[in-house]
Amino acid sequence: MTEIAHFINNARVASTSGRNQPVFNPATGEEANTVALASTAEVDAAVAAAKAAWPAWSKTPALRRARILDKFKNILWDRAEDLARAISAEHGKTHDDALGEVTRGIEVVEFAVGAPSFLKGEFSENVGTNVDSFNIRQALGVVAGITPFNFPAMVPLWMFPVALVTGNTFVLKPSERDPSASLLLAEWLKEAGLPDGVFNVVQGDKVAVDALLEHPDVKAISFVGSTPIAQYIHQTGTANGKRVQALGGAKNHMVIMPDADLDMAANALMGAAFGSAGERCMAISVAVPVTDAVADALIEKLTPMIESLKVGPSTDKDSDMGPIVTAQSLERIHGFLDGAEAEGAKIVVDGREFKQDKQGYENGFYIGGSLVDNVEPDMRLWKEEIFGPVLSVVRRNTYDDAVALIDQCEYANGTAIFTRDGDTARAFSQDIEVGMVGVNVPIPVPMAFHSFGGWKASIFGDHHMHGMEGVRFYTRIKTTTQRWPTGQRTDPEFTMPTLG
């Protein structure tokens, strides 16, 4: 059994902390490896390597930095299958789903390669007599990313390509549940020509997180995870003088209007609710059909589709949905369904009844898809993020009632509406208090050249992720005003200077 360790100064580094924890194969339920849990000293070593590399890296021309990222991009395309297999082995998602994750991550690398264009500043000639003014964007220094288990490749790829290409050095603290993908990314960056110390990985738990949050040489923290931890990351990081973007939890609703194409809506819900076993911050976990007639018809369509979901290991190409990442997460999902039943909701399809009978996988962390009707806003099933394959149905009588339901939710990551009516869709897009909106699109994750992020308790900090928001987060603006001697005499000025 291997201990998955750190990557510091362009080399794998065995841990000296003496602490580790198991890494499971969710498909079998067996312990596959262990992962090191870094000490504060090991985090310090990674930050020191990044700090030492920063002066030269930040002064490397943006075009050269972009060329290294371009080589890295090509390596990712060539080895996407390898990365997907590493993701599936520790997370449990199907191979095709893991490939989709890799592709969405590569799109950010493709965006980052355009650094020479988006780092251009502004210049104004003669803002005053013989005075010019210009601004530039400069890197912050050492920055860090703390990433979740559900996208062990994509979320880091949403962070570090933009950070690196803008001239920062990076320390990644991946999830300890599925850490192997991070080391592949680090080794492939090295192969692409990234200098020593520019990208580092420290495995670990809260000890490593707190060490990064408190380290004086870390200038910014990017985080994706649950809302309570996002809030902690933001409060602790900013209290230590850092720039922080902390993306938290979600409770994403999809409104189905009476004029919607129900087949289209039902198919969209299947992928959005049950893809990746619901372990997505952009998963649709609440369907909001407007009128009982729409609700009844939707449930009639969804029921046989959910009952026929093929749940199995990622190695089975026929699997629609893989296992849950850990036994503890599986138990939590069972608890949500137990509670919904006790609170009076109607379980139409019960995923708890699923039993995995494939030989060798009987002890994996499996559950079937669940459909729960008559869910109301006072129930735990609606209030909290489930992070599992459970679709709640909250019936509403009118469009206004549906909007009010969504707006009262503390989370505001993503939402969608299915309708044929342009007026309704436009009003929904403009008025809903949610950061990302889909119109007949169930999971409205923006492309890499736009930016990703929610509102309210789904984000803490002022900047969304990747796209130009990512560039702004990882850089700061510097404005220079200059005058060159012309031989003309100037007298001292004691009033507030006005150049115009």
Closest CA to 256 of 292, 296, 287: 287
Bridge-based pairing state of the strands 142-146 and 455-456: unpaired
d(CA 370, CA 353): 10
Give the 3-state secondary structure of residue 145.
strand
Cβ pair 284, 273 in contact under 8 A: yes
Give the 3-state secondary structure of residue 299.
helix
Statement to judge: residues 222 and 268 lie in one domain: no
Statement to judge: residues 237 and 130 lie in one domain: yes
Statement to judge: residues 258 and 116 lie in one domain: no
pTM, rounded to two decimals: 0.95
Statement to judge: residues 433 and 475 lie in one domain: no
Within 10 A of 304 (CB to CB), how many other CB atoms are there? Answer: 9
In a domain, 298, yes or no: yes
Statement to judge: residues 301 and 368 lie in one domain: yes
409 is catalytic: no
d(CA 364, CA 260): 38
In a domain, 194, yes or no: yes
In a domain, 32, yes or no: yes
Cβ pair 189, 72 in contact under 8 A: yes
d(CA 208, CA 5): 13
In which residue are the tokens 């990622």 written?
Answer: 314
Angle at 495 between CA 490 and CA 500, to 5 degrees: 70
Statement to judge: residues 236 and 113 lie in one domain: yes
Query: What letter does residue 341 receive in the DSSP assignment?
Result: H
Structural domain count, the chain? 2
Statement to judge: residues 231 and 265 lie in one domain: no
**What single letter denotes the amino acid at residue 65?**
R
Bridge-based pairing state of the strands 390-393 and 30-36: unpaired
d(CA 330, CA 430): 37
Phi-psi region of 51 (alpha: psi -120 to 50; beta: other; left: phi over 0): alpha
CA distances from 227 to 328, 346, 445 (A): 19, 28, 19
**Residue 75 structure tokens:** 């390596």
Q: Which pLDDT does position 485 carry in this prediction?
A: 84
**Phi, psi dihedrals of residue 188, rounded to the nearest 5°:** -75, -30
Statement to judge: residues 275 and 232 lie in one domain: no
> How buried is 196 (Cβ within 10 angstroms: 0-12 exposed, 13-18 middle, 19+ buried)?
middle
In a domain, 176, yes or no: yes
Beta carbons within 8 Å of 496's beta carbon, 6+ residues apart:
none
**What single letter denotes the amino acid at residue 457?**
A
Domain CATH code at residue 464: 3.40.605.10
Dihedral sign from CA coordinates of 437, 440, 442, 447: negative
> How buried is 14 (Cβ within 10 angstroms: 0-12 exposed, 13-18 middle, 19+ buried)?
exposed
Angle at 85 between CA 165 and CA 24, to 5 degrees: 105
In a domain, 159, yes or no: yes
In a domain, 361, yes or no: yes
In a domain, 344, yes or no: yes
- Name beta bridge partners: 243: 220
Q: Which pLDDT does position 98 carry in this prediction?
A: 97
Domain CATH code at residue 408: 3.40.309.10
In which residue are the tokens 């362009």 written?
Answer: 10
pLDDT in tens, the chain (500 residues): 799 999 999 999 999 999 999 999 999 999 999 999 999 999 999 999 999 999 999 999 999 999 999 999 999 999 999 999 999 999 999 999 999 999 999 999 999 999 889 999 999 999 988 899 999 999 999 999 999 999 999 999 999 999 999 999 999 999 999 999 999 999 999 999 999 999 999 999 999 999 999 999 999 999 999 999 999 999 999 999 999 999 999 999 999 999 999 999 999 999 999 999 999 999 999 999 999 999 999 999 999 999 999 999 999 999 999 999 999 999 999 999 999 999 999 999 999 999 999 999 999 999 999 999 999 999 999 999 999 999 999 999 999 999 999 999 999 999 999 999 999 999 999 999 999 999 999 999 999 999 999 999 999 999 999 999 999 999 999 999 999 888 776 678 777 777 66
Q: The domain containing residue 263 runs over which residues? A: 252-439
Statement to judge: residues 419 and 292 lie in one domain: yes
Please tell me which residue in 186, 281, 302, 471 is annotated as part of the active site: 281
Half-sphere exposure of residue 407: CA atoms within 13 angstroms, side-chain side: 12
Cβ pair 36, 3 in contact under 8 A: yes
Statement to judge: residues 276 and 127 lie in one domain: no
Statement to judge: residues 398 and 421 lie in one domain: yes
In a domain, 128, yes or no: yes
Cβ pair 74, 88 in contact under 8 A: no
12-13, strands of its sheet edge to edge: 12-13, 6-7, 199-201, 169-173, 142-146, 218-224, 243-247, 459-460
Statement to judge: residues 72 and 217 lie in one domain: yes
Alpha helices (runs of H) in 60-174, residue ranges in sequence order: 62-78, 80-91, 95-112, 115-118, 154-165
Within 10 A of 226 (CB to CB), how many other CB atoms are there? Answer: 16
Q: Which pLDDT does position 500 carry in this prediction?
A: 60
